[in-house]
Amino acid sequence: MENLQYLAMIQAYTGIGIGLMIGLGAAGACIGVGVMCSRFLEGAARQPEMIPTLQGKVFLLLGLTDASFIIAVGLAMLFAFGNPLLAVIQ
């Protein structure tokens, strides 16, 4: 009976951790993309001749920002479907 309680606790805490990873990761990526794109538009309005160089850097950083969120989703799926912490109980 005690192992069943440990198993339930691990699954519950894993679910909370997954929610935090995906939720905070999405919020951070969205805020970061919003701030970066607003700064790009400000810079483009100030110096229109710099648009091509700024645009390349913005697209590169957009990809990196979204990649960090996708990596967090991948780790969350690892813990959701193949939880390595459950092997400790059994």
**Catalytic sites, residue numbers:** 66
* Spatial contact of 66 and 29, defined as CB atoms under 8 Å apart: yes
Q: Which H or E element spans position 53?
A: helix 51-81
Q: Which H or E element spans position 33?
A: helix 2-46
Going by the DSSP 8-state scheme, the letter that residue 87 receives in this structure is G
Residue 3, both tokens: 């192992």
Residue 40, both tokens: 């790009």
